[in-house]
Chain A
Amino acid sequence: GEDVEQSLFLSVREGDSSVINCTYTDSSSTYLYWYKQEPGAGLQLLTYIFSNMDMKQDQRLTVLLNKKDKHLSLRIADTQTGDSAIYFCAEMRSNNDMRFGAGTRLTVKP
């Protein structure tokens, strides 16, 4: 398909792990990104992964990349109420065109 796809909603309990999934479009994409957007704010770069990597870990965040399936995931360990936000997946395509998913709204329940 032409679009970067994400599920629109995810709800988890505080302390659980959250996994947000994304499928992207260009097998030649160089970088894949995760951005976080809090209500009424701009996008904050959370983490990124280079396309020749399978996994990247950064404190509570783990990014997994499956190039064969063009699948990207973001795992947040020990999810907190402050993690409630919209999470955007984005790919930097081979032509340097950046494409975003529609965003996954993560709700963390106490």
Chain B
Amino acid sequence: DGGITQSPKYLFRKEGQNVTLSCEQNLNHDAMYWYRQDPGQGLRLIYYSQIVNDFQKGDIAEGYSVSREKKESFPLTVTSAQKNPTAFYLCASSSTSEIMDTQYFGPGTRLTVL
């Protein structure tokens, strides 16, 4: 089945550690996105990538890094520089060839810093 997968579903990290969240899609979408969701707030864009080997910062990129070495994969690293990393992280993808450019979301990863 086509879709977006994120792993793991739950992730625990000690303060000072970097951690990488996985996002894979088999929809042949060119664009991929990472959002952060906090309670009572809308989704905030961390990073996005329109094409392989290229990515741009979103609204809250500080303390995060990404790579886009393959079309299917867009991993997000939460670094120790991120001051408040506990949140629900959502990955999305879209086809830039479609007029609508609708984003489809993965199931999310809940990161908790202990």
Report the tally of A-B residue pairs with Cβ distances under 8 A.
Answer: 46
Q: A8-B40, A42-B90, A101-B42 are known contacts. Are A92 and B101 too (CB-CB below 8 A)?
A: yes
Q: A31-B100, A48-B100 are known contacts. Are A43 and B42 too (CB-CB below 8 A)?
A: no
Interface residues of B (CB under 8 A from A): 4, 6, 9, 35, 40-43, 45, 90, 92, 100-108, 110
Docked pose: A31 CA to B99 CA in angstroms:
10
Docked pose: A103 CA to B9 CA in angstroms:
21
Specify which of B41, B100, B106, B108 is in contact with A102 (CB 8 Å cutoff). Answer: B41
Q: Is the CB of B43 within 8 A of A100?
A: yes
Q: A40-B108, A41-B108, A42-B108 are known contacts. Are A96 and B101 too (CB-CB below 8 A)?
A: yes
- Per DSSP, chain B at the interface is loop
Specify which of A8, A42, A96, A103 is in contact with B106 (CB 8 Å cutoff). Answer: A42
- Per DSSP, chain A at the interface is strand
Q: Is the CB of A88 within 8 A of B102?
A: no
Residues of B within 8 A of A8 (CB): 40
Specify which of A4, A40, A42, A101 is in contact with B105 (CB 8 Å cutoff). Answer: A42
Interface residues of A (CB under 8 A from B): 3-4, 8, 31, 33, 35, 40-45, 48, 88, 92, 96, 98-103
Q: Which B residue's beta carbon lies closest to that of A44? A: B105
Residues of B within 8 A of A41 (CB): 107-108
